[in-house]
Amino acid sequence: ADPSAASAPAASGAAALVPDRIKQAGVINVGTTLPNLPYLLTDSANNITGGITPEVGKAVAAKLGLEYKIQNVAWEALLPGVAGGRYDMADDGISDTLERQQIGYFVDYMQSSQVLVTSKDKAATIKSLDDVCGKKVAAIRGTTDVQVVKEAAKKCTDGGKPAAEAVEFPTAQDADLALRSGRVDVEVLVAETAKYAISQGSPVAIVAEGFAPTYVGMFVAKKDKAFADALLAALKELKADGTLDKILGGYGLKPIDEPGINLATS
C-alpha cells in the first residue's frame, strides 16, 4: 500500500468503519467511465488529469486510510461490475434512482439535474422540452437522459404532434460531436457537464434547465452496506471540515447540506 495514503488522517472515526476485506486490501478499487466532464477530466491519451470524482474520492480514501485506484469501464458494465464484486464502488456522477437501488446503495453528496442544449443557431426555435417534437434528441445510452427524452416523446404524441426521436450514444463526446455536426438537433445533458463545457468554450447554448432533478453519489453493492456507512462517515467529515465544499466549489458547484444513503427514496 502507498505509505503516504496510510499515514493520511486514518485516525478519523470513519476509518474504524471500513470492512476488513477492504481494510486488508488497503485500496478502494473504483469503476468509472472516461471521460465525463467535470467528473473526470482527461488528456488526449485519456489519462485522468482531475475532476470531481478523483478529487472527492482521494479525499474520502485518505480519511479511511486507504489508497484510491480508478479503472475505466464501459458504462453498461459499471453497475453490474460493482454488484458482481469486480469493483468496490462506482463513482461517475451517477444518478441515484430506485431501479439502481435494487442492486446497491448510493452514498449521495450532491444534487444534479438535466438541461437541454442545442447549437446557437437553433436556440431561437428550441426553448424547452415542448419544442423537441419531431426533432432528433441525443442522449447517453443507459442513463436517465434517455428516460427524459422518452417522456418528452410521449408528451408529443399525446398532444397529436410527431414524437421526439431519441438517438443514443455511448459517451457524451459522441453526442456532442453529433450535435455539432448537425446529426441531431438537440441534446439532453447533465447540468454540470453542460455548464463546464460552455465554460471551456463549447459552442452550444442551454435552452432549458432544472428538470429531472436527482441526487448523485458513490455506488456500492448491496452486500457492502458496512462500506457505504464508512464512505458516508468520511463524506460527513469532509463536509464538516470544509473540504467537500472547497472541491465542488472549484467546479462552480456545491454539495448537499448533509450527505446520506439512498436519498432519492429515503
The average pLDDT across 65-94 equals: 95
Confidence check: pLDDT of 210 > 90: no
Strand partners, 219: 90, 106
Give residues with Cβ within 8 angstroms of 41, minimum separation 6. 35, 48, 49, 50, 51
User: What are 87-133's pLDDT values in tens digits?
Assistant: 999 999 999 999 999 999 999 999 999 999 999 889 989 988 899 99
C-alpha span between 245 and 191 (Å, rounded) = 18
Confidence check: pLDDT of 71 > 90: yes
Share of the chain above pLDDT 70, in %: 96
* Among 239, 231, 238, CA closest to 262: 231
| Apex 204 CA angle, 127 and 109, nearest 5 | 85
Confidence check: pLDDT of 8 > 70: no
Predicted TM-score (pTM) of the model is 0.85
Read off the C-alpha cell for 188. Answer: 439532453
Residue with cell 459522441: 174
> Which amino acid does the sequence have at 66?
L
Distances (CA, A) of 48 to 34, 41, 51, 74, 104: 8, 6, 8, 16, 26
If residue 199 lies in a helix (H) or strand (E), which one and from where to where? helix 191-199
Buried b (16+ CB within 10 A) or exposed e, 210-235: ebbebbbbbbbbeebeebbbbbbbbb
Cα dihedral across residues 189, 58, 201, 254: positive or negative: positive
CB-count burial class (<10 Å; 0-12, 13-18, 19+) for 24: exposed
pLDDT at 157: 96
Pairwise pLDDT comparison (34 vs 71), residue with the higher score: 71
User: What are 243-257's pLDDT values in tens digits?
Assistant: 999 999 999 899 999
Strand-pair category, 67-72 with 48-50: unpaired
Residue with cell 488529469: 49
